[in-house]
Amino acid sequence: MDTQSRLLALDWGTTSLRAYRFDNNAQPLECRELPYGIMKLPEHKEGHTAAFREAFFTACGDWLQAGANPNVIACGMVGSAQGWKEATYLPCPTSLAGLASQLCRLNITDSVSLSIIPGLAVYGSDPEVMRGEETQIFGILCNESNSADEIIIGMPGTHSKWALTQKNSVSGFHTFMTGEVFDALRHHTILGTTMQAAPETNWQAFDDGVATALRQAKAGLLCTLFSTRTKLLSGQISGQQQADYLSGLVIGHELIGVRQTLLACEERRQCTPIMLTGNAVLCERYQRAFRQAIADRPLKFIAQATTAGLWQIALRAGLISGA
C-alpha cells in the first residue's frame, strides 16, 4: 500500500460513512463507503463509544497502520449531540478561517486523534442549523474562480439546504425538508398506496408535478399534494407515474420557497451566481425543475464539493501544509 497519505477525511452522516485518503492535493487517492452512519453503528457490547471506535477503525484502520501518521478530519452528524463528540454550532456569518479555527478534537488513542468540523447556525426568531453542508459550501467557495460578492448554493437531500454566501462567508441559509417529506408521503400516506414501481424516471410526470406547484404557488404545498391521487383517479397519470409526479411537486414547491426568500431581492435574482452540489442523480431533478421555476437564471452543478471542503478546511486549520 502507498504510505504517503497526508490526510484521512470522513464524511460521517446519519446513515453512511465515507472515508477518503489524500496525498498531496484535494483529489483523494482512495474512497470507501460503509453503512455505519451514526444511527446505524455496528453492535458492540461495550456501548456507544466502542461502536464508534469500531466503525472508525473499520473505515481507516489499515490506512493508519501504514505508518504515515496522517491527520484525520471529519464532517457531518458525527459532531452532533447523537454523534461521537459534539462540535459546537458557529453563528453565521462564518468564514473558512473562522470555521477552521474551531475544530473539535477527539483523542481516539495515544497516537490518533480526530478533528471534527463544527456546524453552522442562524439564531433569532427563525433559527436554522446545518452539519456537513458547511464543508460542501467552503469546498465550492475555495475552488470556484468567481469574483462575485454573493453566491447562492443549493444542496439537495433529505433536508435540502440553500445558503447565501457573501464575501466568502456563509451569511445565512434555509432548510427545506423536501426529501424526508417525499419519503413520508410515499410510504406512510394514502398517496403511496396506489404507486407502482417504474422501470425508469418518467420525466413528463415529473415536469407535470413541477408545473402544478408553480401554477398553484399561492395555494401552497398542502393544497396541491392531493393532486397526486386525483390525477390518478381522473386518468391523467398512472400508478407508475405517481412517484415522479410527487417528486416534481415537492421540488417545485421548494424552488418556489427559494424564489421567495433568497431570490426575493431583484438585484440578487438577476445577478447572483447560483450553484448546486450533491448527489448527481438527485441534482438532475433539481436542474430540470429549476429550468421551469427560475427559467431566467443559469444553475451550475459542482461535483465533489465535500472532498474539496474537507481538504481546504484541513489546510486552513494547519492539519496539512500547502502542497
Q: Give the DSSP letter string of 212-248.
A: HHHHTTTT-HHHHTTHHHHHHHTTSS-TTTHHHHHHH
Q: What is the pLDDT of residue 157?
A: 95
* Grid cell for residue 164: 447565501
Q: Is the pLDDT of residue 155 over 60?
A: yes
Q: Which residue has the cell 453563528?
A: 91
Q: What is the pLDDT of residue 146?
A: 63
Q: For all residues of the chain together, what is the average pLDDT?
A: 95
Share of the chain above pLDDT 90, in %: 86
Instruction: Please tell me the distance from the alpha carbon of residue 50 to that of residue 44, in angstroms, as a whole number.
Output: 7
Instruction: Indicate the pairing of strand 300-302 with strand 17-22.
Output: unpaired
pLDDT in tens, 271-314: 899 999 999 999 999 999 999 999 989 999 999 999 999 999 99
Is residue 63 within 8 A of residue 21, CB to CB? The reply is yes
Residue of 84, 73, 74 whose CA lies nearest to 41 = 84
* Grid cell for residue 127: 433559527
Instruction: Indicate the pairing of strand 71-75 with strand 7-12.
Output: parallel
Query: Residue 148: pLDDT band by 50, 70, 90 thresholds?
Result: confident
Q: Is the pLDDT of residue 3 over 60?
A: no
Residue of 115, 103, 118, 105 whose CA lies nearest to 170 = 118
Cα–chain center distance at 272? 21
* Grid cell for residue 284: 438532475
Q: Residue ranges per domain, the chain? A: 175-302
- What phi and psi values does residue 112 have, to the nearest 5 degrees? -125, 125
Is residue 56 within 8 A of residue 108, CB to CB? The reply is yes
What is the layout of strands, in order, in the sheet containing 128-130?
Answer: 89-91, 119-122, 128-130
Residue 307 CB partners (closer than 8 Å, separation 6+): 9, 20, 26, 27, 28, 139
Please give the average per-residue pLDDT across 28-36, as a whole number.
96
CATH of 175-302, one of 3.30.930.10, 3.30.300.30, 3.30.420.310, 3.40.50.150: 3.30.420.310
Read off the DSSP letter of residue 173.
E
Query: Residue 67: pLDDT band by 50, 70, 90 thresholds?
Result: low
Instruction: Please tell me the distance from the alpha carbon of residue 73 to that of residue 137, in angstroms, as a whole number.
Output: 16
Residue 310 CB partners (closer than 8 Å, separation 6+): 7, 9, 11, 20, 73, 75, 117, 135, 139
**Given 3-state DSSP classes, what are the helix, strand and coil percentages for the chain, each rounded to the nearest 5?**
40, 20, 40
Query: Residue 1: pLDDT band by 50, 70, 90 thresholds?
Result: very low
pLDDT in tens, 205-255: 999 999 999 999 999 999 999 999 999 999 999 999 999 999 999 999 999
Q: Is the pLDDT of residue 140 over 80?
A: yes
Coil vs helix vs strand at 308 = helix
Please give the average per-residue pLDDT across 87-103, as a whole number.
98
